[in-house]
Structure 1
Amino acid sequence: MVRNEVAAEIPGDKLSHAREAADRTGFDSLITPLVEPAYRLAFAMLRQKMAAEDAVQEATFKAWNKFASFRNERGGFRAWYLTIVANECRSLQRGRWWSVLRFDQVRPPQGSDESAITASDLRQTVAGLSRSDRLLLYLFYWLDLPLEEVAAVAGISTGAARARLYRAVGRLRLEFDPSKENPT
């Protein structure tokens, strides 16, 4: 994983200038480095390329409209924007729940080396977790966000994010090795 430190802390003068001017180039300079992480988050939550692109586009439009009301607190601009993306994904998930017919996925038979965990197994197991657990795991491990920003995007305290992340990882470990008891 590559640590994404772009736009974690935006200098006050750049943010102030962009907000005061509310011009396209100011907003573009802030949002451009965040589009890829936003798309990765949306794809992780929605699991569909087109839906993820739509969510990022709609979230960016909402961020543009609400840019003047942005207050630089609790995680900064990146956390604020990714929160909008996550909320847009949740809205899309709520709106389409009735139209999606889900079947339990059948795991392929294991080869001779049953102890090997493949990326496919991990993706499938993560997909079986709750939406909130998946969100925390993707933000922390896939987007490599600091715990404070994970908490800000999820809308919970840092302590709650740490505890939920610990429990989610414990559930994953238990899935791959049922002989180990989860200490939580």
Structure 2
Amino acid sequence: MARTRGARPRRVRLWRWRRNPLRRRSDLAEAWLLLGALVLALLLGVLSGLAAAGAVDGSLAERRERSSPVAAVLTEDAAGAAASVTENGDGGVWAKVRWTAPDGTLHTGRAEVSPRSPAGTEVTVWTDPAGRLVAAPPEGAEARFQTVMAGVTVAVATGGLVLLGGRLGRRRLELRRLGAWEAEWRRVEPSWRRRMTG
């Protein structure tokens, strides 16, 4: 029967799961391997993502507990939007400030402040229990974003690694199958060649 021009072969879905005389044991093993890898990738991805999000959320909460806002005073005029602009690009500049630690001692350091603030301006800085300057802990939307991004990143990475493992397992099955075909062909080929030439 001649194939019509342009006709595409019909795909048989889920053929590895259907009983037929052409299905090999390795086909069924491959089907189970792929299904197991998919289920495991989803399950481990979700669980590891939730664990990572929980860990980041706990870390941020601990950071918020360990740091506290403290009133500080600028000891110098803050520069204009010059070369000292902060890394996060929010328009702040670094300037020298003075604050009182919880134990009553005076400290000085550099903190991010609004540009062009004159000396003597009161600003808020964050300190640890020892009175040292620390970065302000993320709160609200920024904290939620960090938590969600950590969870999603870990979930995708974990799921991807499991799927990659499934692909490697499938490749091993294919190589075994090709090796078996080659061994079978070596046994059959001499008699087949005699029949064709004789």
TM over 0.5, shorter chain: no
More helix by share: 1
Provide the TM-score with structure 2 as the length reference: 0.23
The answer to which structure, 1 or 2, has the higher relative contact order (CA under 8 A, 6+ apart) is: 2
More strand by share: 2
Provide the TM-score with structure 1 as the length reference: 0.24
